[in-house]
Amino acid sequence: MLCQRQDDSTYKNVVSQNELTILIDARNVARSKWPNIPEQKLVDLCWSWGAEQGHAVIVIFDGTAPIDVVGRRDLGPGCSVVGTGRRSADSWIEREAHRYQEEGQKYWLVTSDRVLRNVAGAHAERIVGGGTFAKELTGEF
C-alpha cells in the first residue's frame, strides 16, 4: 500500500513541532538513478525518510502522480503527493516555494534542475540534489 506508516501519531507530533516541509521534484529524483526508481516506491521511500527525519514531504510529479492523482492528495500524516496535470512540476514548486517564503514557512527543495534551484530555492533552508537525495533514500551512502 502506498505510504503506509505504522505509528502515525508519533510522526504527526514530530512534524508539527519542526514545521519543515521538503518539496521534492519527483521525476528528477526518480530519474537520477538507473534503473529509475518506480514512482510508487519513490513516494514510499520519501515518506519513510521524512518520518525518520521528522519532516513533512510533498512529492511533486509532472502530470499524473501514482494512484492517478491530479492535484494534491494527503496520503497520511507527513506525506502528500501532487500530480500537476497540464502544468509542470517546476511551476507548481515555484509557486509553492513563493507561498512558503511569503508566509515565513521553512522548506527544503530537492531537485537538480538549475533553473528551479535558482528560482524556488532562493529562500529554501537547504537545497539537495536529486541524485544525492536518491542515494540517501536507497541507502547508497
Q: Is the pLDDT of residue 105 over 80?
A: yes
**Element (DSSP H or E) covering residue 136:** helix 130-138
Ordered alpha helix ranges (H), 19-129: 26-30, 39-53, 89-103, 114-120
**pLDDT, tens digit (0-9, with 9 covering 90-100), for 76-90:** 899 999 999 999 999
pLDDT score for 141: 66
User: Which residue, chain included where needed, has cell 522548506?
Assistant: 107
- pLDDT, the chain, mean: 89
Share of the chain above pLDDT 90, in %: 82
In order of their start, the domains of the chain are 14-129 (3.40.50.1010)
pLDDT score for 140: 85
Distance from C-alpha of 11 to C-alpha of 125, rounded to nearest angstrom: 21
Q: Is the pLDDT of residue 5 over 80?
A: no
> What is the pTM for the complete model shown?
0.87
If you average pLDDT over residues 57-66, what whole number do you get? 96
Q: Is the pLDDT of residue 129 over 80?
A: yes
- Which residues have C-beta within 8 Å of that of residue 60, sequence separation ≥ 6? 23, 24, 25, 26, 81, 82, 84, 89, 92, 93
**pLDDT, tens digit (0-9, with 9 covering 90-100), for 25-54:** 999 999 999 999 999 999 999 999 999 999
**pLDDT, tens digit (0-9, with 9 covering 90-100), for 91-104:** 999 999 999 999 99
Strand 20-25 relative to strand 71-76, pairing: unpaired
pLDDT score for 2: 43
If you average pLDDT over residues 46-65, what whole number do you get? 96
- For 71, the grid coordinates are 492535484
